[in-house]
C-alpha cells in the first residue's frame, strides 16, 4: 500500500471515530430520545442541535468535494437547526440514517483510486480533498466532545 493509500485509510478511520474519541455510534446509543431537545442549564444547545450541526457540516463538505457548481450555505443560520429538537422520533431516526449514509459516501469518495489527496475540490482550486477531510475530522471531533458533555449533564453518560 502506498503512502497516499495509508493516509487515506487513516483519515477514514478518524472520520469513523474511536481513534482518539468515543465513536458517534456509541454516543447516539446512550442518549434517550426524551432528552435530545433539552438544553441543560448553562449550555446554549441541545444534543439534537449539535448532532444536526455535525450532520449539516458533513453533508456540506460532501457537496463541496463533489460539485463543480457548489454554492455555500448561509453561515451560521443554515448550519444550525431552527428548533432544539426534531419534530418526531421518525425525523430523529432519519437524521441519524442520513448522517451515517453520507459519512460512508464521503469515505468511499476518499478511498477511491480516482481521488488523490492533493486534488483540489471541483469548485475551488485553493482547497484540496486532504484539507476538507482534515477539516471534517476536526469539526466532528470537536462537537463529539460537546455531545459527551451534554450526555453527562443529562445523566445519560455510562462510561
> Which residues contact residue 138 at a Cβ distance below 8 angstroms, ignoring those fewer than 6 apart?
none
Distant-in-sequence contacts of 90-99, Cβ < 8 A, 24+ apart? 92/33, 92/36, 92/48, 95/51, 95/52, 95/55, 96/28, 96/51, 98/55, 98/59, 99/24, 99/51, 99/54, 99/55, 99/58
Fold of 3-154: 1.20.120
pLDDT, one tens digit per residue, over 9-43 is 999 999 998 777 788 999 999 999 999 999 999 99
Q: Which pTM value belongs to this model? A: 0.95
> What pLDDT is stored for residue 1 in this prediction?
53
> What pLDDT is stored for residue 157 in this prediction?
74
> What pLDDT is stored for residue 159 in this prediction?
64
Percent over 90 (pLDDT), the chain: 90
Q: In this model, does residue 116 exceed pLDDT 80?
A: yes
Q: Domain residue spans in the chain?
A: 3-154
- Mean per-residue pLDDT, 61-75: 96
Amino acid at each position: 500500500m502506498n503512502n497516499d493509500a495509508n493516509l487515506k485509510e487513516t483519515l477514514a478511520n478518524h472520520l469513523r471515530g474511536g481513534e482518539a474519541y468515543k465513536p458517534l455510534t456509541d454516543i447516539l446509543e446512550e442518549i434517550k430520545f426524551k432528552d435530545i431537545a433539552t438544553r441543560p442549564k448553562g449550555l446554549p444547545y441541545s444534543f439534537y442541535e449539535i448532532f444536526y450541526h455535525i450532520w449539516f457540516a458533513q453533508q456540506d463538505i460532501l457537496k463541496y468535494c463533489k460539485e463543480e457548481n457548489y454554492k455555500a450555505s448561509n453561515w451560521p443560520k443554515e448550519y444550525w437547526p431552527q428548533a432544539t429538537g426534531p419534530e418526531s422520533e421518525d425525523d430523529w431516526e432519519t437524521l441519524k440514517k442520513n448522517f451515517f449514509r453520507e459519512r460512508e459516501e464521503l469515505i468511499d469518495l476518499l478511498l477511491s483510486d480516482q481521488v488523490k489527496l492533493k486534488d483540489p475540490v471541483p469548485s475551488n482550486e485553493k482547497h484540496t480533498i486532504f484539507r476538507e477531510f482534515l477539516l471534517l475530522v476536526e469539526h466532528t471531533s470537536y462537537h463529539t466532545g460537546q455531545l459527551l458533555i451534554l450526555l453527562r449533564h443529562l445523566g445519560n453518560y455510562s462510561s
